[in-house]
Amino acid sequence: MAYTVNILDTEMVTHNVKRLTFEKPEGYTFEPGQATEVSIDKDSWRDEKRPFTFTSLNEDEHLEFTIKIYPDHNGVTEQIGKLTPGDSLIIDDPWGTIQYTGEGVFLAGGAGVTPFIAIFRDLHKKGEIGNNTLIFSNSTDKDIILKEEFEEILGDQFINVITDEPTEDHIFLDGYIDEEFLDSKIDDFSQPFYVCGPQPFNENMMEYLKELGADPDALVFEE
């Protein structure tokens, strides 16, 4: 079922990531980590559907997306970057992407962190963060999405990795997270792992984790 919803507020949370707050249809429910198909309610864009994950919680009054904008792609996110309050989106029913199955390690590459936002907000609200850890890989410091919020929620269990430029504030790896790095940061490979990022990131992380002894059935990733 499709729902047309008005945008209530927009805000840039990094130099290229935008938060959109919009109306919640009556009776609309979803679980943390779930997504929906989204299109822009404008001529020539209504059939251009893309999946985005909710970053709000089900009990919130309004819905929220946190979306990376690619202005050079001449596509949907470029158009989303131009939207303002009063514009409309068309959303479908929610569907499952990443489902939380218990305490573990979350590995995110760039905007791949978005399915984890609602999961962490939900656990924090319930007082159930426990030993969950987020290892978050970005090109530069300015690319880190919701840095302050993750620091508040996770404290020392929030590990930032910067891959393109040396940094004083976070771990710098020249190129990418590798198997050696994961082995140095993770003590228990029997716990659940949640992986989301660009396809090469996902493939590499899954391969490294399996080589380090992770149970394939405990690897949760966005397909």
| The model's pTM | 0.92
Residues forming beta bridges with residue 137, ordered by sequence position: 109, 161
- Residues 185 and 161 placed together within one structural domain of the fold: yes
Query: Which residues form the domain of 135?
Result: 105-221
Give the Cα separation of 129 and 137 in Å (integer).
20
Average pLDDT over residues 81-85: 96
> Is it the case that residue 223 has pLDDT exceeding 60?
no
- The reported pLDDT for the residue numbered 172 is 60
Q: Is 97 part of any domain?
A: no
What confidence tens digit (pLDDT) does each residue in 30-67 have? 999 999 999 999 999 999 999 999 999 999 999 999 99
- Residues 78 and 160 placed together within one structural domain of the fold: no
Residue 51's domain is classified under what CATH number? 2.40.30.10
State how far Cα 173 lies from the chain centre. Answer: 21
Average pLDDT over residues 142-168: 89
Q: Given 62, 91, 120, which residue is the final one in a domain?
A: 91
Which strands form 158-162's sheet, in the order they lie side by side? Answer: 171-172, 158-162, 133-138, 105-109, 193-196, 219-221
Confidence category of residue 215, pLDDT binned at 50, 70, 90: confident
Q: Given 91, 126, 159, which residue is the final one in a domain?
A: 91
- Residues 12 and 62 placed together within one structural domain of the fold: yes
- The reported pLDDT for the residue numbered 216 is 84
- Residues 75 and 165 placed together within one structural domain of the fold: no
> Is it the case that residue 72 has pLDDT exceeding 90?
no
∠ at Cα 112 (110, 113), nearest 5°?
A: 85
- Residues 192 and 138 placed together within one structural domain of the fold: yes
- The reported pLDDT for the residue numbered 145 is 96
- Residues 115 and 202 placed together within one structural domain of the fold: yes
What confidence tens digit (pLDDT) does each residue in 167-177 have? 566 666 655 78
- Residues 109 and 215 placed together within one structural domain of the fold: yes
Number of folded domains in the chain?
A: 2
- Residues 170 and 70 placed together within one structural domain of the fold: no
Average pLDDT over residues 99-121: 95
Q: Given 91, 120, 142, which residue is the final one in a domain?
A: 91
